[in-house]
Amino acid sequence: MIWVAWRMLTGDTAKYLGAVFGVAFGVLLITQQASVFVGIISRTANPLSDVREASIWVCDEYLQNADEIEPMSDNAVYRVRGVEGIEWAVRLYKGMARARKPNGLFRQVILLGIDDQSLVGAPRKILMGDLASLRRPSAVFIDKSGYESLWPGEPLTIGREIEMNDRRAVIVGICETSAPFQSFPVIIACYSQATGFVARERNQLSFVVGAPVPGVSPAEACRRITAQTGLMAMTYREFVWLTIKYYMENTGIPVNFGITIVLGFVVGTAIAGQTFYLFTLENLRHFGALKAMGVNNRRITGMVLLQSLVIGLIGYSLGIGMAVAFFEGTKQSLPQLRGINIPWQIAVGSGLVMIVIMSLTSLLSLRKVLTLEPAVVFRG
């Protein structure tokens, strides 16, 4: 009877495709929105999250997120280095600046200042230029996306000049960075130069980043730093989540995306559920005839579940495929979605949601079929 169930399902191509695409669009909606949400919320710690070599992050004790920074005194780096169990610690600057092109056009940029000697925090993927040239006077790297926003449609070239805080900066390299939350260009310079590109403040040190000696865990090293210096010290993971949590708790992003995801679930359930339920209803007479002919409820249940499983599986695969195609297709044309992809947890989550949707739908349909009196087939 599995074969009969399969043929009943696929026999009417329009209804079959309607049910499959109902599920597929539900999955697409949920997966796409959830992925965009996760992608955007995980950007909040960018581009600092690219500094992966640092397992310890030290900052002002009242820091709430990576965008609102209270600078520390430059000697904080020495205090951290003085803590037992710290292998190395270096300075890291993060701030905002205005980059002006020779023609007067300007853009707000995210400015990162990395340690002059070690270059800890340097970009990992350099598209053009040489990292060592960053140590040259006025030298900066710019991220590819930022370059394209400053010089749209123009080929990538090093040697271009910009001005920040009335100081000349020369682009000596172009790199890839993780897409920042605000879609500003990212400029990377050595710490000593970066602090010169912004208005002078008494304190300018944003972070001290470092790593513990082998045998001391980052968490233990952080505990020691806080105890000894009074500064806030976090592991890399804690630092990234601090910012994510801040944005989750203090902005409308989770609520707005949450609503869209819930709507996706509701719409997905409605489309898939209703289509499949109607499909079952339209076949009720046939199920009645099968029951009259001696197909028992166990077999009928198997038939409905098989139909639901087939629709769910094909619809889910199509939906995930469409979501992947969406992100792949917009990778080049929509830089705003740069770096957003489908985490496996969301793919699994949408699958589970689809199982819930199809289970609910099957139960609803089964209730109708199992309580159906086979004598209904005698009613003209």
Nearest to 347 by CA among 69, 111, 66, 34: 34
- The piece of 126-134, 147-155, 311-319, 367-375 that touches other proteins (CB under 8 A) is 367-375
377 near other proteins (CB under 8 A) = yes
Are 355 and 269 in contact by the 8 Å Cβ rule? The answer is no
Contact segment (CB under 8 A) with other proteins among 45-53, 68-76, 90-98, 286-294 equals 286-294
Q: Would you say 10 or 317 has its CB closer to other proteins? A: 10
Give the 3-state secondary structure of the chain: CHHHHHHHHHHCHHHHHHHHHHHHHHHHHHHHHHHHHHHHHHHHHCCHHHCCCCCEEEECCCCCECCECCCECCCHHHHHHCCCCEEEEEEEEEEEEEEECCCCCEEEEEEEEECCCCCCCCCCEEEEECHHHHHCCCEEEEEHHHHHHHCCCCCCCCCCEEEECCEEEEEEEEEECCCCCCCCCEEEEEHHHHCCCCCCCCCCECEEEEEECCCCCHHHHHHHHHHHHCCEEEEHHHHHHHHHHHHHHHCCHHHHHHHHHHHHHHHHHHHHHHHHHHHHHHCHHHHHHHHHCCCCHHHHHHHHHHHHHHHHHHHHHHHHHHHHHHHHHHHHHCHHHCCCCCCHHHHHHHHHHHHHHHHHHHHHHHHHHHCCCHHHHHCC
Determine if 3 is a binding residue for other proteins (CB under 8 A): yes
Q: Which window, 119-127, 130-138, 186-194, 293-301, contacts other proteins (CB under 8 A)?
A: 293-301
| 11 makes contact with other proteins (CB under 8 A) | yes
7 scored as a contact of other proteins (CB under 8 A): yes
Find the part of the chain contacting other proteins (CB under 8 A) among 2-10, 72-80, 90-98, 118-126.
2-10
**303 forms part of the interface with other proteins (CB under 8 A):** no
Residues 195, 103: Cα–Cα separation, whole Å: 24
Q: Minimum distance from CB of 5 to other proteins (Å)?
A: 10
Closer residue to other proteins, CB minimum distance, 20 or 357: 20
Yes or no: say if 147 and 192 are a contact pair by the CB < 8 Å rule: no
Q: Which stretch binds other proteins (CB under 8 A): 78-86, 130-138, 253-261, 285-293?
A: 285-293
Residue reference for tokens 């500064």:
231
Q: Which of 152, 215, 230, 380 binds other proteins (CB under 8 A)?
A: 380
The reply to whether 281 sits near other proteins by the rule CB under 8 A is: no
Task: Report the residue number, 328 or 373, with the smaller CB distance to other proteins.
Answer: 373
Q: Of the two residues 55 and 283, which places its CB atom closer to other proteins in the complex?
A: 283
Q: Quick one: which of 136, 167, 168, 286 contacts other proteins (CB under 8 A)?
A: 286
**60 is a contact residue toward other proteins (CB under 8 A):** no
Determine, following the binding rule CB under 8 A, whether residue 329 of this chain makes contact with other proteins.
no
Work out whether 12 is an interface residue with other proteins (CB under 8 A).
yes
* # residues contacting other proteins (CB under 8 A): 27
- State the minimum distance, in angstroms, from the CB of residue 7 to other proteins: 5
- Asked if 193 and 132 count as a contact pair (C-beta separation under 8 A), the reply is no
296 binds other proteins (CB under 8 A): yes
378 touches other proteins (CB under 8 A) = yes
Q: Which of 263, 281, 363, 375 binds other proteins (CB under 8 A)?
A: 375
Question: Which of the ranges 95-103, 114-122, 324-332, 368-376 carries the binding residues for other proteins, by CB under 8 A?
Answer: 368-376
Site residues (CB under 8 A) for other proteins? 1, 3-4, 7-8, 10-12, 285-286, 288-296, 298, 373-375, 377-380
